[in-house]
Amino acid sequence: MPYLFGERIRLRAAEKEDIPAFLRWVNDKEVTENLMLVTPMSCFEEEQWYEGMMKKPRSEHVLVIEVKDKRADEDYHPIGTCQFHNLDWRNRSAEIGIMIGEKTFWDQGYGSETMRLLLNHGFSTLNLHRIWLRVYAKNKRGIRAYEKAGFQFEGKYREAHYQHGQYYDIHLMSVLRDEWRQTISLEENNH
């Protein structure tokens, strides 16, 4: 399966040619405001990260989020990344992460669509039971998107993130396969 298709997006494997876009995104302070990156990244470090990621199992590789170019039928261009990591096959659990790096695509539902597509892949293809994430309590936009996708608040790491001279809580959220199925059923009934 070379691509995972959503309504407006597709997910594909990351390629070495994506490194310049990744580097631009992870060095943009607005993009990384709600990510767990705190220092600038060099091209060498990004290349090392890519090589390390490629040595992991394919199920943990970064996927590139692409949108179709409205000017050309066949052309897609990258707007961000997503992935599963910390996979625990015994307990059928994985952490999920997402980054919309192209700011012109923020607040248009691409993050929510990506989460729905990735959850479908995790539960239907990878046979996961639980998918979880960590999100800064101050990231209200992210929390809303995760709740829309079916994630529930589980708890928090109190004052676990230091940024801008103060400490912030990190929320732990998750969705179980049966909860996800209920969310899908509700969405289908509302259409």
- Where are the domains positioned within the chain? 3-189
Q: What confidence score (pLDDT) does residue 184 get? A: 82
In the chain, which stretches have pLDDT less than 70? 1, 72-73, 191
Compute the chain's Rg from CA coordinates: 17
Tokens read off for 3? 């691509």
Q: What confidence score (pLDDT) does residue 189 get? A: 77
> Is the full-model pTM beyond 0.95?
no
Question: Contact, 23 vs 31, CB < 8 A?
Answer: no
Phi, psi of 29 (to 5 degrees): -65, -30
By DSSP bridging, strand 152-163 and strand 166-176 are antiparallel
Q: What confidence score (pLDDT) does residue 1 get? A: 47
Query: Which of 171-186 are b and which e, b meaning 16 or more Cβ less than 10 Å from the residue's Cβ?
Result: bbbbbbbeebeebeee
d(CA 103, CA 91): 36
Q: What confidence score (pLDDT) does residue 69 get? A: 77
33-58 residue pLDDT tens: 998 888 889 999 999 999 999 999 99
Q: What confidence score (pLDDT) does residue 73 get? A: 66
Q: Note the CATH architecture for domain 3-189.
A: 3-Layer(aba) Sandwich (3.40)
